[in-house]
Amino acid sequence: MYWKEKFCVLLVCVLGFCCAVTSIVVPVQSPQPMHSARPTHMSRQCPPLVNFPTQCRIMAQCSVWWAELVKSPHSVCTNQVESSLWKACCPAIVGGRNRIGVMSEQSLDSEILTVSNPELARISKFGQSEVGRIAGIEARLLEHKAFLMPGSTAFAYFINMKPSDEAAPLGEQGLMVTRSTQKLKEVLRLSNEAAGIATQTLSVKDTPLAGTCIPDPTCRPSKYRTIDGSCNNLKSPLMGRSNTQLGRYLAPDYDDGVWESRDKGMPNSRTVRTVLAPDHDRVQRDVTLMLMQFGQFIDHDITHVPVFQLANGSGISCCTPDNKHQSWELRHPHCFTLDILPGDAFYRQFRVECINFVRSMVAPRSDCTFGYAEQLNQVTHWHDASTIYGSTQFQSDILRERKGGRMKTFSYQNRQLLPLDWKNNDCIGFEKGLRCFLSGDSRVNQLIGLTVMQTVWHREHNRVAGELARINPRWDDERLFQEARRVVIAELQHITYNEYLPVLLGRPVMEAYGLLPRTSGFFTGYNDTVNGNVFNEFSTAAYRYGHSMVSHWFELVDDNGATYDRLHVKDWFNNPHPLLKADVLDGVMRGLTISNPEASDELFVSDLTNMLFKTPESKHGGDLIAFNIWRGRDHGLPGYNAYRGLFGLRKAKTFSELNDLFTPETIDKMASLYKSPEEIDLYLAGMSEKVDSSSGILGHTFLHMVADQFARLKEADRYFYETGDQSGSFTIDQLNEIRKSSLAMIFCLNSDGIKNIQPLTFRPLSDMSWCITRFCCIRNLITIFWSLYAVSLDT
């Protein structure tokens, strides 16, 4: 226990100072250290840490070294009284290049097809006529009221997958090209490979489908990002823009090479889920629930693939209200229902045979060619806080107050909440006069923890805008908004790369992929040849790791660390209204930083496997994990084995050759479900891989997929917060202030009244409980941060 006693001195010193100087911070209860060691016994100099020289730094700058710090008996600073920030001795990070390099996208070399213009025009008209045929089907469905009704589980799922007004017509355009490509395969008698790849040598520009080509925007020099993500890459101005296609590591494995889902002869996805991923709890003690919640917040920032809908905006109904299959006369062509087998242990008690599932919307191809279907991402691909600001100019304009650079809020009992969505009646409680909240992302009301995150960051924008207005009184609304947005995006990116990713991926992998944020200086690795789009495999499989970390409930915790209430996840989908109560926002925030999540593995809570989007009117919900498997097949993701080869492992020829990353029990289960290793679905295989404890919390395949995607989001982003020598770059003084930000700071400055929090919100208090249980909120950081920031910003 000696090293713990020595390290404890640091924590006691910090709390003792911060709680005593009441003129700087909000006072809290006096500290009660568990040990009597005194600062006079501490080392007068910072000793090396894992053979690296160190310096006394605030903990936000030492977060990537946490695993080493808690094991070091001398990682304490002697000058704690200089600041109320918690300090420790840790090495500098000078930053390094991506030693692995971003993964090369699969080469799609193929034969060059030659088709006459009249023939190509005729085939293109077929695609247009198919969209017209579907419109006729939809008119019949609307006449028979065969669409999703509010109150059903299927409707609750649909509103989180609904296309935006801008995305819906693009989905029709993408469908025209996709159906024309399928016709090309039929007419030219092409193989599956040629149908999806060789057809990309044919342009749609000189065909009746020319209108599906997305023109490049006109880009003007600007220090600010566009709202829709365009013009980040000046050579490829559409890269990363909202309402464009996802990228891919590997060409899709559609059953026809173009768009038919990968499901013929495959095992039922619900059966795969129940066998490989039974409902079971296994808590992960070394991280907090914040890791899951922040991950979902980031996910909603960079990816949102909508599903097709009816022409009037209603949801497509593929099952009857009593969960039987819809008759063929009323079955929409985009239905891809999840069949429930008679022996299902849970659903049979409700006589469920069919669960509603609609295919993802396809995008017009960015290269303006024919070819296999690519799914549409209706939010910007960049890590640019689009969850706060929206992904189109229309969305952004609705959210802005147009005064002082601020965003609209709903004032309730002297608290500033997200604005109310007066056009949306989809949330639970609408019939009682309750409204949904409005933000930059339509999924804001999905889970209470997510709504809390959205609220906190919305407040952070207005806080920053207010500070900038105070120190720069001559700035107009537009400049205040853009500068505040610029700062908030930088804070969010810094927290992602400095606090979140090191826990998720581990420091060695972060270092290998060049993801570690620098302690000083600029990042110089911007690369305009890197594809910055979000990749399909990341969005549809790897980054859904967080589903396994969802707990049964959100705990509401008071300032003493005691849980005083719980919100059961299954009872609060699409219902954010507890936030109207005065103590809930802070209670959930504390709970996220104190509670442990479920482990990142192949086990999931029943709230997601049987009760997903359960409504008060229903007795059951959907199965998110079966949906994930099914969605992967909808998107044509190749099997898991293909990605073993992509990320440095030997492809398995037999099930027994999977023993390098899977337990014998898991291999036996896979062999009972699939005919060969080639069939294994990517998602659950990735979740079932063994985890190397030195490399974060993910198995090998997803670990490298996630690392590669965040390397792309860093290297390809001209506006990345650490990048220098660009029109949107910060000065070095500004950047150094951004580097002091932390998620703990964001929570402290934007809560209703939180008085204490641990300095690293992704790490549990249990790691520090042998020393002290809480830390003061650093409310003076607002002055430190902006007084220095203003010096260089106002020039």
Binding-site residues from annotation for heme b: 547
Annotated catalytic residue 300: yes
Strand residues in 508-583 grouped as ranges (E): 553-557, 563-568
CA 745 from chain center: how many Å?
21
Token pair of 293 as six digits: 């919640």
* Of residues 49, 135, 129, 133, the one with CA closest to residue 92: 49
Do 661 and 668 contact (CB within 8 A), yes or no?
no
Give residue 252's region: left, alpha or beta (phi > 0; psi -120 to 50). beta
Token pair of 554 as six digits: 């959100």
* Of residues 362, 392, 370, 393, the one with CA closest to residue 213: 370
CA 761 from chain center: how many Å?
18
Which positions ≥6 away from 218 have C-beta within 8 Å? none
Do 16 and 82 contact (CB within 8 A), yes or no?
no
**Rounded Cα gap, residues 176 and 154, in angstroms:** 27
**Residue 346 in 3-state DSSP?**
coil
* Of residues 215, 231, 717, 204, the one with CA closest to residue 492: 717
CB count in 10 Å sphere of residue 308: 23
**Rounded Cα gap, residues 467 and 376, in angstroms:** 38
**Residue 513 in 3-state DSSP?**
coil
In terms of C-beta density within 10 A (0-12 exposed, 13-18 middle, 19 or more buried), how is residue 439 classed? buried
- Report which DSSP code applies to 47: P
Query: 3-state SS of 528-540?
Result: CCCCCCCEHHHHH
Active-site residue, selected from the candidate residues 144, 300, 381, 552: 300
3-state helix, strand, coil in the chain (%, to 5): 40, 10, 50
| 389 sits in which H/E element | helix 386-389
Query: 3-state SS of 69-99?
Result: HCCCCCCCCCCHHHCCCCEEEECCCCCCCCC
**Rounded Cα gap, residues 422 and 406, in angstroms:** 20
**Rounded Cα gap, residues 79 and 56, in angstroms:** 8
Do 715 and 696 contact (CB within 8 A), yes or no?
no
Which positions ≥6 away from 227 have C-beta within 8 Å? 386, 389, 390, 391, 392, 393, 395, 396
Do 618 and 299 contact (CB within 8 A), yes or no?
no
Residue 772: φ, ψ to 5°? -155, 155
**Rounded Cα gap, residues 342 and 242, in angstroms:** 42
**Rounded Cα gap, residues 661 and 685, in angstroms:** 10
Identify the sign of the CA torsion 725, 740, 58, 761: negative
Residue 368: φ, ψ to 5°? 60, 45
**Rounded Cα gap, residues 352 and 331, in angstroms:** 18
Beta bridge partners of 568: 553
What is each CA distance from 100 to 105, 505, 702, 704, 717, in whole angstroms?
A: 14, 15, 15, 10, 18
Q: What is the DSSP string of 772-785?
A: -S--B--TTHHHHH
Residue 375: φ, ψ to 5°? -75, 150
**Rounded Cα gap, residues 436 and 430, in angstroms:** 8
Token pair of 436 as six digits: 């949904």
**Residue 721 in 3-state DSSP?**
coil
Residues labelled catalytic: 300
